[in-house]
Structure 1
Amino acid sequence: MSHKIINVTVRDVRFPTSLEQHGSDAMHTDPDYSTAYVVIDTDCGLKGFGFTFTLGKGTEIVVCAVEALAGLVVGKFLQDIVSDFRGFYRLLTSDGQMRWLGPEKGVIHLATAAVLNAVWDLWARAEGKPLWKLLVDMDPKQIVSCIDFRYITDALTEEEALDILMKAQDGKQHREDLMLKEGYPAYTTSCAWLGYSDQLLKQLCTDALKSGWTKFKVKVGADLEDDIRRCRLIRQMIGPSNTLMIDANQRWDVAEAISWVSSLAEFKPLWIEEPTSPDDILGHAAISKALAPLGIGVATGEQCHSRVMFKQFLQASALQFVQIDSCRLGSVNENLAVLLMAHKFQVPVCPHAGGVGLCELVQHLILFDYICVSGSLSNRMCEYVDHLHEHFTSPVVIHNAHYMPPKEPGYSCEMLESSVQRHQYPDGDVWKMIINK
């Protein structure tokens, strides 16, 4: 594994999803699902692929940040990186000058995720394993050595993390076999984007039910009366026994969130997702406390920018469902820390996915969580959105509303070169046609 990294390239790849209102919610009314797409070249020809997710405008800023980090990566040997992955993570996140741009949050952290995702993809390819299997086969001490415990030892020490992983060794093979046979349970957000018409919502719900889906999420937050109407419609469509979640995408102040969600309680949502600012830990705690008597939990995390934020959310009992994101946090390394903290605090992990490529990535993390950390499927499911999978060389496989474990080596990050070229901004054929209209 003496692969020397000789080049890091990054491209701005955007898909015009706003044209059909895919991804629309109360705060993001016209998203164009996009990526800063990274390719790592090595001297032996092996490549690593990675990306971070964006909504269109501003992707060029993330591209600049990736280019700024590239100098820390080129010239490194893969073996040296993975033998001290904690040190490499700190190298990218603790540069004496670039750290000022974060630290460990915002655009610079999105760029860090893109680079590290490519490194993990490279490692898994070098080992000939899908990423989830690479993690599952690791010795617990090696997993712990990939994590930066700085700033979280008051919630989780290295020794505690190792103990969690060691205890989960019992029954690990059985859980892996179960995942290979049945897959990991998923829920769908594809049916009820805020910009969808009632007719489309009904059709998509009908199709999803026929395909075996039992867990549905609906976007809320723009208009209360319309939310009541749409939640009533989707509850009637899916029936009383299936699971409903609602997602406000940070729309409300704290008191407003409590009042608004209380008005939707009759539809029995399992959770309200992102009810207020993603940075407001105490606000989420107040909402959690107020909604607990109604049996409604709080879920958040897709824009929670670091393990330190998650630590405080867990310490403050401010969320009942942890939603990790494979591109918001600092790649696998930081997500491992959050998975272990969530287990210690006994809060189920239900990852954020969708976008472009997020489903492909996060499936690896949730498989690892079940097999090697939590050992439980209680109140656990992974988001699925049926958009843009056709642009990947190894797209997700969903069977009976379950993620089936990927079999191809790597982190499922690689996009079809033809798709990248067509959708590269602003010179790809797709964007030339839109811009010249």
Structure 2
Amino acid sequence: MLHKIINLTVRDVRFPTSVEQHGSDAMHTDPDYSAAYVVLDTDRGLRGFGLTFTLGKGTEIVVCAVEALAALVVGKSLQEIVSDFRGFYRLLTSDGQMRWLGPEKGVTHLATAAVLNAVWDLWARSEGKPLWKLLVDMDPEQIVSCIDFRYITDVLTEKEAVDILVKAQEGKQQREDQMQKEGYPAYTTSCAWLGYPDQQLKQLCTDALKSGWTKFKVKVGADLEDDIRRCRLIRQMIGPNNTLMIDANQRWDVAEAISWVSRLSEFKPLWIEEPTSPDDILGHAAISKALAPLGIGVATGEQCHNRVMFKQFLQASALQFVQIDSCRLGSVNENLAVLLMAHKFQVPVCPHAGGVGLCELVQHLILFDYICVSASLDSRMCEYVDHLHKHFTSPVVIQDAHYMPPKDPGYSCEMLEASVQKHQYPEGDVWKLHMNK
């Protein structure tokens, strides 16, 4: 814990996933999965690794924002940070000048997440534990001391948060043992990106079913007739009893969303994800109310930029599934606040994952949620996308469509140095080759 942070480096790492349409949806037609990748060096040789996820262009802006925060981190010891983690979180998000660029949203918050993810990774490594286990082994008061409750005490007080965690102590060890044995249930988004042709959809669904997948998400929103055809195809492939979700990635206005999803209701989707602007709380509430008689819930959160937005979504009954993101929010600290608020409102958490490293990161948070907060798997599952895991030193392990708890110390976001160098933008070999074509 006496490790002093002596240096912070951040690199722009990009993967040309747009070439094969991986990740394509109605709003993001050509994503290159990318990351602002942070490494913290300490005076004792221990390192912390963190990242925030981007889609290619603009990653250089996040890198600049991380560099602007570096002076707040370098020179501090790990002990100094974690002994007042709430204060350190507030330091990063409340700089008198930088705060104007957020506050607590957009590029500055993505940069904050990258830095804090690296700090949490460093802390877990210093304790020799995977991050989920570091969290599980903390007492309720220590967990709560990591959370900034500013702006959410009208919904969740520190005392309420402690009470939730204390109540969940009962059966905690059994749930941990269960996760070690069975893993956390997952769903796949890898079969039905919007840019995939039908034959590819069929083959990917066939392969996924053989591998034990029972929950599938389909990208929709570009063309209604095409959505009807593709949803029919997927539903026929997976059968009537497996779970189907649909995701519009913010494509529609409110009335359009209600009309469009009503047309797709025959395929019995569990939820419609991001039906409209991610900032439109009352719009989501209207959509939720309209679709409830059809048995279709609303899911959102991957672009929900802070705990205050989640607070209002929950207050307005505007979502039926909370989708936390390990890089959109301010790292573990802010995600803890959202997990606790979701539990108070009894709304299941189904994290957003995929991208670069999001699966690796968010698995830790959802394990903690089950073991120490919700104590429930009802209507709960974690997204999985099968791209780019080979670039990490501790890639996710999926068995029978379940996330198996990570065993290596840290937050699972250390990338292989060879992969970083090869994909660093624009000087990496992949980009030299790609831009010369």
TM-score by length of 1: 1.00
> CA offsets per residue over residues 297-325 of structure 1, 9 Å max, x none?
00000000000000000000000000000
Alignment partners' CA distance in 2, 1:240 and 1:192: 17
Number of matched pairs: 437
Q: Supply the distance in 2 between the matched residues of 1:416 and 1:179 (Cα, whole angstroms).
A: 27
CA deviations over 1:148-200 (Å, ceiling 9, x no partner) = 00000011000000000000000000000000000000000000000000000
CA distance in 2, matches of 1:178, 1:143: 22
SS in 2 for 1:299: strand
**Equivalent residue for 1:155?**
155
CA positional deviation for 1:209:
0.1
Matches within 5 A, 1:375-414: 375-414=375-414
How far off its partner does 1:280 sit?
Answer: 0.1
* Distance in 2 between residues matched to 1:139 and 1:79, nearest whole Å: 17
Provide Cα deviations, 1:173-232, integer angstroms capped at 9, x if missing partner.
Answer: 000000000000000000000000000000000000000000000000000000000000
SS at match of 1:176: helix
Q: Which runs of 5+ in 1 are unaligned?
A: none
Alignment partner of 2:325: what SS?
Answer: coil
Residue deviations 1:45-89 (CA, integer Å, cap 9, x gap)? 000000000000000000000000000000001001000000000
Separation in 2 of the partners of 1:97 and 1:402?
44
Shift of 1:421: 0.1
How much does 1:258 deviate?
A: 0.1
Match of 1:166 in 2: 166
Instruction: Report the Cα distance in structure 2 between the residues aligned to 1:63 and 1:74, rounded to whole angstroms.
Output: 16
Looking at structure 2, the residues matched to 69 and 176 of structure 1 have their Cα atoms a distance apart, in angstroms, of 36
Whole-Å separation in 1 of the counterparts to 2:23 and 2:414: 22
Quick one: distance in 2 between partners of 1:355 and 1:406?
A: 18
Q: Deviations over 1:105-156 (max 9, x none)?
A: 0000000000000000000000000000000000100000000000000110
Distance 1:23 1:8 in 2: 30
User: Per-residue deviation at 1:356?
Assistant: 0.8
Q: Which runs of 4+ in 1 moved over 3 A?
A: none
When the two structures are superposed, what TM-score results if normalisation uses the length of structure 2? 1.00
Listed as ranges, the matches of 1:25-424 within 5 Å are 25-424=25-424
Q: CA deviation at 1:282?
A: 0.1
SS in 1 for 2:299: strand
Tell me how far apart the structure 2 counterparts of residues 436 and 285 of structure 1 sit (CA, whole Å). Answer: 48
The 3-state SS of whatever aligns with 2:72 is: coil
Q: Classify the secondary structure of the residue corresponding to 1:71.
A: helix
Output the CA distance in 2 between the equivalents of 1:31 and 1:150.
35
RMSD of aligned Cα (Å): 0.2
Distance 1:417 1:77 in 2: 25
For residues 18 and 146 of structure 1, the distance between their equivalents in structure 2, rounded to whole angstroms, comes to: 38
Quote the Cα distance in structure 2 between the aligned partners of 1:329 and 1:434. 32
1:302-350, CA deviations, whole angstroms, 9 ceiling, x for partnerless residues? 0000000000000000000000000000000000000000000000000
Distance in 2 between residues matched to 1:74 and 1:384, nearest whole Å: 34
Q: How much has 1:432 moved relative to structure 2?
A: 0.3
Mapped to 2, the partners of 1:260 and 1:434 lie a distance apart of 38
Report the Cα offset of residue 409 of structure 1. 0.0
* Cα distance in 1, alignment partners of residues 81 and 179 from structure 2: 30
How far apart, in 1, do the equivalents of 2:357 and 2:203 lie? 25
In 2, distance between residues paired with 1:237 and 1:356? Answer: 28
Q: How many Å separate the matches in 2 of 1:67 and 1:61?
A: 10
Work out the CA distance in 2 between the residues paired with 1:79 and 1:172.
27
Q: CA deviation at 1:290?
A: 0.1
The offset of 1:376, in angstroms, is: 0.1
Residues in 1 aligned to 2:273 and 2:286: alpha-carbon distance in whole angstroms: 14
| 2:244 partner SS | strand
Find the aligned partners of 2:147 and 2:85 in 1 and give their Cα distance.
Answer: 8
**Structure 2 CA distance for aligned equivalents of residues 24 and 61 of structure 1:** 22
Report the 3-state secondary structure (helix = DSSP H, G, I; strand = E; otherwise coil) of the residue aligned with 2:317: coil
How far is the alpha carbon of 1:254 from its aligned partner? 0.1
The alpha carbon displacement at 1:239 in A equals 0.1
Distance 2:289 2:380 in 1: 21
| Structure 2 Cα separation of the partners of residues 2 and 152 of structure 1 | 33
Which structure 2 segments of 5+ residues have no match? Answer: none
Q: Aligned with 2:153: secondary structure?
A: coil
CA distance in 2 between partners of 1:7 and 1:385 (Å): 33
Q: Distance in 2 between matches of 1:431 and 1:42?
A: 31
CA distance in 2, matches of 1:3, 1:256: 54
**Residues in 1 aligned to 2:188 and 2:282: alpha-carbon distance in whole angstroms:** 29
DSSP 3-state at the match of 2:348: coil
Work out the CA distance in 2 between the residues paired with 1:136 and 1:205: 35
Secondary structure of the structure 2 residue equivalent to 1:181:
helix
Identity %, equivalent residues? 91
Superposed CA deviations along residues 245-266 of structure 1, whole A, max 9, x for unmatched, are: 0000000000000000000000
Q: Secondary structure at the match of 1:187?
A: strand
2:164 alignment partner, SS class: helix
CA displacement at 1:436 relative to structure 2:
1.5
